[in-house]
Amino acid sequence: MGNIKKTLKVLGCGKQNLNVYLFLLMVMSVITGTTGTSEASIAEASYIIYQSGGTVYAQNGQTGVNDYSGTDAKTVIQSALNAGNVVYIKEGTYTLTSNLYIANNRRLVGAQKDTTILRGSGYFNELISMDVNSGHVLIENLLLDGNKASGAIGAALRIISGWDFLVRNVRITQTSNEGIRFYGTATNIGYGNFENIFISNCNGNAMWIGPYVIDSVFNYINMARCNYVKVEGTNVTSLWFDNIIADSFDAVSGESYGMILNDVNNIIISHSQFYNCLRNGLVFQITGANDSANIQLIGNYLGGNGTQAVNSWSNLVFYNTGTGVFRQVVVANNVFVGSSISAYGIYLSSTFARSIIEANSFDTSHLSGTITGIPTGMTVKNNPGYVTENNVLSSTFAIDSTGLKTVTIPHGLAVTPNKEDIVLTVIEETNVDNWGYNLLKVDSVDATNVVAKIYVSTRSTTAGATARLSLRVGKP
- Please provide the average confidence, as pLDDT, over all residues in the chain: 84
Render pLDDT for 234-287 as a digit per residue (tens, 0 to 9). Answer: 999 999 999 999 876 655 445 568 899 999 999 999 999 988 777 788 999 999
Which pLDDT band holds residue 418 (cuts at 50, 70, 90)?
A: confident
Four-CA torsion 220, 226, 228, 232, nearest 10 degrees = -80
Determine the pLDDT at residue 425.
Answer: 93
- Once rounded to an integer, what is the mean pLDDT over residues 25-34? 41
* CA–CA dist 226, 204 (Å, integer): 6
* CA–CA dist 78, 80 (Å, integer): 5
Residue from 425, 420, 407, 426 nearest 474 by CA = 420
Residue from 98, 146, 94 nearest 116 by CA = 94
Determine the pLDDT at residue 386.
Answer: 72
Contact in structure between 304 and 332 (CB atoms under 8 Å): no
Which pLDDT band holds residue 84 (cuts at 50, 70, 90)?
A: very high
Determine the pLDDT at residue 14.
Answer: 39
Which residue did the predictor score with more confidence, 73 or 123?
A: 73
* CA–CA dist 328, 284 (Å, integer): 13
Render pLDDT for 187-240 as a digit per residue (tens, 0 to 9). Answer: 888 889 999 999 998 888 899 999 999 999 999 999 988 878 999 999 999 999
- Tell me if residue 232 falls in helix, strand or coil: coil
Determine the pLDDT at residue 460.
Answer: 95
* CA–CA dist 8, 11 (Å, integer): 5
Q: How many CB atoms lie within 10 A of CB 1?
A: 8
